[in-house]
């Protein structure tokens, strides 16, 4: 992820080395290079435009500082603008003041929700919480089983419809899970919902019904960073159809060009809160925009 973008930007900055002061032409040429690098990384056009505009404006206005040469100054500006489009400050989970905190996961099938649910449960356990996982994905034949297997791997119980009760209604399961959490004093309820291969109204309706039934403290939209520009379209569809508080990017270990990761927070106005970067239960952490920006500019 980001390898090409990193290399591209490094080349751009190399061209500025040794320059005493940046001329208007230098700034224009640099802005053009950055624009191409971002577009090649699959960053959405409106985000690219805003980004390049901001870098240009700041590069022109920047006081020449004794401590930094022009190349370093541009790198500093690009770094700060990257942090800004990635959502600024690290956004942490908001816990309920009383009763269990309810976190609902939404996203397309294959986004990595079920895996993510267990990773999040594991992470919460390490934070001293007592989570419970809830299997509301009753659509995909194996989803309940998969959540149970993953729950076992991280030592977190899974609330699921009773076997033999038929498929069950995900909204009822979700509602019952909150009662169970209150009764048994679990302090975080992680609700895994069904996904589809594409966005459809039935899926949105079901997710909205579950949301209304459990009144989550946080709705997290889970999206596969490998799907590129489609991630942004899906993110918008879920924002309109279900609504959410934050984004979780999965499969950051893949070789995607990174445009989705760079575009989503900026286009949806919702912060990326967590990143998942592998198949192991520990391949997961809070998303830190500043660290991601530094990685790109490394």
215 φ, ψ (degrees, to nearest 5): 45, 65
Q: Shortest Cβ distance from residue 146 to ligand GDP (Å)?
A: 6
Check whether 17 is labelled as a binding-site residue: no
197 touches 110 (CB < 8 A): yes
For residues 107 and 276, the answer to whether their CB atoms sit within 8 Å is: no
Scanning 4-12, 66-74, 180-188, 249-257 for contacts with ligand GDP by CB under 6 A, the matching segment is: 249-257
Task: Confirm or deny that 252 is annotated as ligand binding.
Answer: yes
Could you please report the per-residue DSSP string of 228-270? THHHHHHHHHHHHHT--SEEEEE-TTS---SHHHHHHHHHHS-
| 80 SS3 class | helix
The least distance separating ligand GDP from the CB of residue 203, rounded to whole angstroms, comes to 12
Among 277, 290, 295, 297, binds ligand GDP (CB under 6 A): 277
In order of 85, 233, 278, the CA distances from 226 in angstroms are 19, 13, 12
Q: How many residues in the shown chain lie near ligand GDP by CB under 6 A?
A: 18
Stretch of 103-111, 162-170, 173-181, 233-241 lying at the interface with ligand GDP (CB under 6 A) = 103-111
Biggest CA–CA distance in the chain, Å, is: 76
Pairing of strands 272-276, 284-286: antiparallel
- Cα 262 → chain centroid: 10
Select 49 or 280, whichever has its Cβ closest to ligand GDP. Answer: 280
Applying CB under 6 A, which of residues 113, 211, 270, 288 lies at the interface with ligand GDP? Answer: 113
In order of 48, 87, 93, 136, 199, the CA distances from 217 in angstroms are: 32, 20, 9, 17, 24
What are the tokens at 89? Answer: 């400050």
263 binds ligand GDP (CB under 6 A): no
Among 12, 69, 101, 115, binds ligand GDP (CB under 6 A): 115
Shortest distance, position 197 Cβ to ligand GDP, whole Å: 10
Residue with tokens 């109204």: 201
Rule CB under 6 A: say whether 111 interacts with ligand GDP. Answer: yes
For position 170 contacting ligand GDP by CB under 6 A, the verdict is: no
**110 lies in the site for ligand GDP, by CB under 6 A:** yes
Is 147 a known ligand-binding residue?
no
The correct pick among 30, 101, 114, 193 for binding ligand GDP (CB under 6 A) is 114
Binding residues (CB under 6 A) for ligand GDP: these are 107, 109-115, 195, 250-251, 253-254, 276-279, 283
Which residues line the annotated binding site for GTP?
Answer: 107-114, 192-196, 250-253
């Amino acid at each position: 992820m980001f390898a090409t973008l990193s290399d591209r930007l490094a080349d751009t900055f190399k061209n500025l080395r040794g320059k005493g002061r940046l001329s208007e032409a230098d700034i224009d040429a640099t802005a053009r290079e950055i624009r191409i690098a971002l577009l090649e990384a699959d960053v959405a056009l409106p985000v690219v435009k805003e980004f390049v505009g901001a870098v240009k404006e700041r590069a022109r206005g920047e006081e020449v500082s004794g401590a930094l040469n022009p190349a370093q100054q541009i790198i500093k500006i690009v770094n700060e603008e990257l942090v800004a489009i990635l959502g600024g400050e690290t956004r942490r989970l908001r816990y309920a003041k009383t009763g269990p905190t309810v976190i609902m996961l939404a996203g397309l099938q294959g986004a990595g929700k079920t895996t993510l649910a267990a990773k999040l449960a594991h992470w919460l356990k390490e934070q001293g919480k007592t989570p419970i996982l809830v299997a509301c994905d009753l659509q995909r034949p194996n989803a309940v089983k998969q959540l149970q297997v993953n729950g076992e791997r991280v030592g977190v119980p899974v609330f699921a419809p009773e076997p033999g009760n038929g498929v069950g209604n995900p909204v009822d399961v979700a509602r019952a899970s909150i009662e169970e959490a209150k009764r048994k004093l679990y302090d975080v309820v992680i609700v895994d919902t069904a996904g589809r291969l594409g966005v459809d109204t039935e899926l949105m309706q079901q997710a909205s019904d579950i949301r209304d039934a459990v009144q989550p403290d946080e709705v997290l939209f889970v999206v596969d960073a490998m799907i590129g520009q489609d991630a942004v379209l899906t993110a918008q569809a879920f924002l309109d159809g279900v609504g959410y508080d934050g984004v979780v990017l999965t499969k950051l270990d893949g070789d995607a060009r990174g445009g989705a990761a760079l575009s989503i927070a900026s286009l949806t106005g919702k912060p990326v809160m967590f990143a998942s970067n592998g198949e192991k239960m520990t391949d997961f952490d809070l998303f830190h925009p500043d660290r991601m920006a530094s990685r790109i500019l490394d």
